[in-house]
Structure 1
Amino acid sequence: KFMNSPESRRKQWYIFKEGLMTDKAMPNAAHIAIAELYQMGKLDCVITQNIDNLHQKAGLPDDRVFELHGNMQWAVCFECGRRYPFNEIKARLDGGEDIPDCPACHGMLKPAIVMFGEQLPYEVLEEAGRRARGSDLFIVIGSTLVVYPAAYMPQYALQSGAKLVIINIGETPLDRRASVLIEAKAGETMAAIIIKVKEKATL
């Protein structure tokens, strides 16, 4: 719908400006624990369907976060591919623009997220799959593993011989193949795991 007409884009930008695109959300205990694992050298990357930028806020570098559905803190130009912080675009919307264009080429801008009917970013999917296949331990945190292609990632890891840990409230299709299955809240569990990892590191 976004590309169909100027009116569609006008409505969508208004919705994004008024609430969907916010930088006020803060990382929770799980995000912080995941970032700590990376800083300790225990984590290679994160593959996520979330678009909220919270892994980066917690301390993970951009190049270690593979966002299958994009990132709502950016806008991207269809024509030249340039990316702009969403806050810059929001300032223009707040200033009276209703359909912002690319400052460089005046091409069509859109939020850097995968919208209904769009293909997921091929390069991100490919690299996420490569990382999954190269892992020795794959941890699923807070996912029911029913949304594809993200749900393929732990399967790729298993096929390559990795151990699978699932931390989730409720069943997933891969529960029987997990080496460790924890049915608990992600934040509490990851915080406890970090404590144990730190204790082991000091021995």
Structure 2
Amino acid sequence: MKDHIVVLTGAGISAESGLSTFRDNGGLWEEHSVYDVATPEAFERNPELVLRFYNDRRRQLAEVAPNRAHELLAELEKTYRVTIITQNVDNLHERGGSSRVIHLHGELTKARSTRNPATIYDIDYRPIELGDTCEHGSQLRPHIVWFGEDVPMIEVAAEVARTADHLLIVGTSLQVYPAAGLVHEVDFDVPVTVIDPGEPATVSRARVIRKGACEGVAEWVSDLGKF
């Protein structure tokens, strides 16, 4: 059976494609606080602002492309079983060629009913406007896990992490829970590598590559047969 590589990715890998991130702006995303655009309360208070914010993010996503890190992770599927667990809401992993992607925090190119979270629509890069409703008449909202909401895919991700033969962590500071807790689901003898140019959170047994996503993933892939 092929080794199973589980990859946990965060904002750092998307930033190298040119996407703005909260992480790089001190909790702001192009001057917007997370509390203004990424909470259920924000949507209730000012739905027009929140919809406009995510419409802009969706428009930006349509203008960027997967980078070499996304492509290298996809190419690993030729030799290994690979599952991507991403905190990102973009579709760059899929566009880069990865076939197994778990989105912990939702997907920017999908919308869902405000009344029934299970009613989800693919919207590609189209905007969501006030008055756009689901088949039952409820306003549509971005299919995004906002701060303060449950993370419905976390148990699926935890089950996947328990089957890892290698864990690769790319572009995330491991500060956001419950995603950060996934590292503790991996068996203790599984090799763990963290790729981050900054100061990553402590993973006691991890190998750390202090480089950006593209350069770091290329280095890790070239060394993969050595560990």
- Shorter-chain TM band: 0.7 to 0.9
- Measured against aligned partners, the alpha-carbon deviations of 1:96-115 in whole angstroms (never above 9, x if no partner) come to x533111x222231111112
Preserved contact between residue 58 and residue 125 of structure 2 (Cα < 8 Å):
no
Q: Find 2:66's aligned residue among 22, 27, 31.
A: 27
Q: Could you tell me which runs of 5 or more consecutive residues in structure 1 were left unpaired when the two chains were aligned.
A: none
Cα 1:15–1:167, aligned 2, differ >3 Å: closer, same or farther? closer
TM-score, structure 1 length as denominator?
0.78
Of structures 1 and 2, the one with the larger relative CO (CA 8 A, separation 6+) is 2
What is the match of residue 208 of structure 2?
181
Amino acid at match of 1:185: G
What is the match of residue 10 of structure 1?
48
What is the match of residue 138 of structure 2?
107
Which structure has greater helix proportion? 1
Q: Find 1:152's aligned residue among 181, 186, 204.
A: 181
Q: Find 2:218's aligned residue among 184, 191, 194.
A: 191
Q: Residues 47-86 of structure 1 correspond to what in structure 2 (within 5 A)?
A: 47-61=85-99, 64-80=100-116, 81-86=118-123
State the 1:158 CA deviation.
4.0
Cα 1:141–1:53, aligned 2, differ >3 Å: closer, same or farther? same
Preserved contact between residue 54 and residue 108 of structure 2 (Cα < 8 Å):
no
User: How many pairs align?
Assistant: 182
TM-score, structure 2 length as denominator?
0.71
- Overall identity of the aligned pairs, in %: 30
Cα 1:14–1:165, aligned 2, differ >3 Å: closer, same or farther? closer
Matched, 1:139 2:168: yes
Amino acid at match of 1:99: G
Q: Find 1:98's aligned residue among 105, 118, 130.
A: 130
Cα 1:131–1:11, aligned 2, differ >3 Å: closer, same or farther? same
State the 1:4 CA deviation.
2.5
State the 1:195 CA deviation.
5.2
Preserved contact between residue 105 and residue 151 of structure 2 (Cα < 8 Å):
yes
Amino acid at match of 2:67: N
State the 1:133 CA deviation.
1.1
Preserved contact between residue 139 and residue 164 of structure 1 (Cα < 8 Å):
yes
Amino acid at match of 2:200: T
Q: Distance in 1 between matches of 2:198 and 2:86?
A: 19
Amino acid at match of 1:44: V
Q: Could you tell me which runs of 5 or more consecutive residues in structure 2 were left unpaired when the two chains were aligned.
A: 1-40
Amino acid at match of 2:211: A
| 3-state SS of paired residue (1:152) | helix
| 3-state SS of paired residue (1:119) | coil
What is the match of residue 129 of structure 1?
158
Q: Distance in 2 between matches of 1:36 and 1:72?
A: 24
Preserved contact between residue 72 and residue 218 of structure 2 (Cα < 8 Å):
yes
Q: Distance in 1 between matches of 2:53 and 2:175?
A: 28
Preserved contact between residue 104 and residue 154 of structure 2 (Cα < 8 Å):
yes
